[in-house]
Structure 1
Amino acid sequence: MFKPSCIVMLLGVSSNAFAQSVVTPYGIADLGVHYSTGINANNAPVASGSTAALSSGINNTSRWGIKGQEALGDGMDAVFQLEGGLNIDTGASAKSDKLFDRLAFVGIKSGYGSLTAGRQATILSDAISPVDPLGMRYASFNPNINVTALSNTAFGTHAFGVQYGTSGYADNYYRLDNMLKYTGDFGPLVARVSYSFGEVAGNSSALSTMGAGLAYQQDGLSVSGAYMKFKNSADFGLQAYTLGAAYQLGNVQLKANFGSNRADTSTTRQTRQRIASAGVAMLVGPDLTLTTAYYRVRREASGFVDDGFDRSFAYLEKSLSKRSTVYIETDYTNWKGNAAGVTGSQANNSNGLGLTLGLMHKF
């Protein structure tokens, strides 16, 4: 006969096993009604007219994921994370060719830091996260995410136009495949180094990347910077760096960041971009936050007129609960040079305005 004491013993064993291994599903659903003039629903400049749309990820990128951790003993843990972007307005994956386009890695964590391997965000993005004036909001339109961290470098009449590193996409190098990343926590300092294998037969340099970053955080002050070097399939280089700071002063947080990158697009041509940004976030009422940010982007490219844009944002967010936030967002862009591009033979509007009323829920 199966004795009650045996059941108690098995439950105890199961409890210990579960305590050593944790797997957590999570995600963000962010959707808003978006009105724009001078730009379309995808925030590209247009020659004329206005657009009303239901848009995903205006505050935080909609996503879903699974992460886990298992204790291995001696202070060591095995970790993994799988994460994919979502377009909540259509139900489609953000990238049709990748189920987990955002993150897909496994690794080991200990008192000496963590070593992870797989598809991961770059050290540039890690460095920007604590000091971006907009707090990494509106990823598809945030210049620090797009231009400083190289998530979408294409705008106006030209772009890099080729793949640097192992992102799998031209003009998007924010996340890389085949990456080894070490992160070490040393009191107020966090150090990061990474290397991505290009996996090009006969040429170990082609499509490879390497980078290093250092961050300091203590007593309300954060300082964060990083440098990365990318190669394309022809061994042309792309170098990028970022340096920023944030300071908490009571209910007010001040942030500023500067970034620069330079890409060799051929043996005789280069494209260089510089990004300066600053912003303020403050509590203006119970569970009510106002965030404002300004970005200045300038680009110089061989064979093209110097161009760029100025972009400003304002967010008013009301926390409805621990997981749900309603928000109003507005943005204004002024394109410089030929950065607005053309539609057919007609020059696009040099100014763009956006306004959003949205709801974000975290689970």
Structure 2
Amino acid sequence: MKKTAFAFLALNSVFPAAFAQGSVTLYGIVDAGLGYTSGQRVAQSTGAAGKPIVYANASNYSFASGTWSGDRWGLKGKEELGDGLAAIFQLENGFNIGTGQLGQGSREFGRQAWMGLSSTKFGKVTLGRQYDPIVDFVGPISAGNFLTGMGAHPGDLDNIDNQARENNSIKYTSPSFSGLQLGALYGFGNQAGSVKNQSTWSLGGQYANGPLAIGAAYMQANNTYGANSGAWTGSYDGTFSSSINEGFASARNQQIIAAASTYQIGLVTLGLAYSNTQYTAGSFSLFKGKETFNSAGLTVSYQATPTVRVAAGYDYTRGSSINGASAPKYNQFNLASFYSFSKRTSLYALVGYQKASGKTLDAYGNTVNATASVGDVGNGISSATNTQTLVRVGIRQTF
């Protein structure tokens, strides 16, 4: 018996990590309200190459789910392994609170699903379905952080408002070095015979010190080369669900450069954001050459009282000329107000307006008039005309 007790104590001293402490946290956001959209396109015919869809425009009063923040619940886990090392994981489900339907293509954990190791000295490595460095380093200081997804660049074509995720990915995030943090991601295409098909890679970083924060990132996502389905099939989800860029989903690859900065002056926070989104055609794409969209925006947020915040924003987006036609252009204005009952519960009221001009491509590669699509696709459906107004009021609670 004494020998057994001695052996147990000896093993415990050699392998202390076997008895490390761990924790699992349940968290989430529920966000619901009412909305008005001045115009949503309603198809009146089928479309094809050489035959654009005919749309009617209809106003819509509706229940609104996840306007400020997408509805979600999730689990976070951490187990301390000793010497600053820990095993970590996160599983996050997105859903529509109005219908109970799963989000992100009806995935059980469509928002995030990853696990990995973190170190206080060396940073963390995670594997699974996760966000890229654009979302990690640019998103938190972009218009979406002050105006919600309704303030995103049209259609969220640059993914700054985290519409898309990367499947089958590995990501490294460094520790913070005097306010500077860096990260990199690679998403495997899992395609036999090719390491490039459907793959994604991204680099980025953010520097935050006192009132100033600056973030920048680059991402390249590759489609299946030679695919002629007109669809995006990469490890990256893609952001092709609005009239802004649905005509470029057959691109061979997509490249995004994004940057944002904020500066706080007392109760006022000023923000600037810029992105360059480029689609390159392949042999079977529904367009030729390259199409580039440049977006630039300004936001102003004012903390009027400890419980009241108001914000405003303007964004200008311009695409390159398509087939010699006039370039597509989008001017967007946003207003937002927030009232906090507590740290967990808040009311909000949002208004967004956009005006489009020029020509773009539809989902069949036809040259058509550019139409408005306010903010990210989670907040509305594209208009059939060149203008659109969105109004949302709601309540959000976190847990």
TM-score, normalised relative to structure 2? 0.75
The structure where strand makes up a greater share of residues is 1
> Which residue matches 1:340?
371
1:226-237 equivalences under 5 Å are 226-234=217-225, 236-237=252-253
- Alignment partner of 1:358 is 2:349: no
Code of the residue aligned with 1:79 in structure 2: it is: I
Distance 1:240 1:286 in 2: 37
Q: Which moved more, 1:352-361 or 1:19-28?
A: 19-28
In 2: Cα distance, 1:262 partner to 1:96 partner:
25
Q: Which residue of 2 aligns with 1:210?
A: 201
Which residue is equivalent to 2:312? 292
> Partners of 2:193 and 2:157 in 1: how far apart?
31
Aligned twin of 1:316: 337
SS of match in other structure, 1:129? helix
Aligned-pair distance for 1:151?
Answer: 7.2
Residue number among 290, 297, 321 corresponding to 1:270 in the alignment: 290
**Deviation by residue 1:121-174 (Cα, 9 ceiling, x = unmatched):** 11111122232123175437722781122779xxxxxxxxxxxxxxxxxxx7x2
Name the CA distance, whole Å, in 2 between partners of 1:139 and 1:318: 18
Distance change >3 Å, CA 72–CA 18, structure 1 → 2: closer
**Which letter maps to 1:303?**
N
Q: Measure the CA separation in 1 of the matches of 2:151 and 2:208.
A: 27
Give the corresponding residue for 2:14: none
Which piece of structure 1 moves more, 104-113 or 206-215? 206-215
1:189 Cα deviation (Å)?
0.3
Distance 1:121 1:334 in 2: 30
Give the corresponding residue for 2:153. 143
Aligned-residue CA RMSD in angstroms?
Answer: 2.6
Per-residue deviation, 1:265: 2.2
Secondary structure of 1:224's counterpart equals strand
Offset of residue 298 of structure 1 = 1.5
CA contact (8 A) 2:187 2:199 kept: yes
SS at match of 2:317: strand
Distance change in 2, residues 1:239/1:96 (3 Å): closer
Normalised by the length of structure 1, the TM-score is 0.82
Structure 1 pair 290/27, CA: closer, same or farther in 2 (3 Å)?
same
Aligned to 2:95: 86
Matched-pair contact (CA < 8 Å) for 2:87–2:117: yes
* Alpha-carbon offset, residue 38 of structure 1: 2.4
CA contact (8 A) 2:152 2:160 kept: no
Deviations 1:249-289 (A, max 9, x none): 11111111100021112244222111111101111234000
Distance 1:239 1:66 in 2: 32
**1 CA distance for matches of 2:154 and 2:126?**
25
Give the 3 Å change call, closer, same or farther, for CA 209–224 of structure 1 in structure 2: same
Residue 98 of structure 1 aligns to a residue in which SS? coil
Q: Does 1:328 align with 2:359?
A: no
Q: Post-superposition shift, 1:18?
A: 10
Equivalent position to 2:385, from 339, 349, 360 = 349
Q: How far apart, CA to CA, are the structure 1 residues paired with 2:131 and 2:158?
A: 13
CA pair 86-250 structure 1, distance change in 2 beyond 3 A: same
Work out whether 1:245 is the aligned partner of 2:256. no
On the 8 A contact 2:34/2:394 being kept in 1, the answer is yes
How far is 1:80 from its partner?
A: 0.3
Q: What residue number does 1:164 align with?
A: none
Residue 324 of structure 1 aligns with an amino acid whose one-letter code is T
- Report the Cα offset of residue 58 of structure 1: 1.2
Question: Where does 1:1-363 land on structure 2 (aligned, <5 Å)?
Answer: 20-39=21-40, 47-111=56-120, 112-135=122-145, 138-139=148-149, 142-143=152-153, 146-149=156-159, 174-185=164-175, 186-234=177-225, 236-267=252-283, 268-300=288-320, 302-303=322-323, 305=325, 306-337=327-358, 338-340=369-371, 348-363=384-399
Q: CA deviation at 1:300?
A: 2.2
Structure 2 gaps of 5+ residues are 1-16, 43-53, 227-251, 359-368, 373-382
Read off the aligned partner of 1:317 and give its amino acid letter: F
Q: Say which is worse superposed, 304-313 or 71-80, in terms of deviation.
A: 304-313
Identity of matched residues, %: 29
1:162-219 C-alpha deviation (Å, 9 max, x unpaired): xxxxxxxxxx7x2010111100022210000111111100011111111111210001
Helix, strand or coil for the counterpart of 2:271?
Answer: strand
Q: Secondary structure at the match of 2:220?
A: strand
SS of the aligned residue for 1:130 comes to: helix
Q: Is the 8 A contact 1:29 1:63 kept in 2?
A: yes
> SS in structure 2 opposite 1:128?
helix
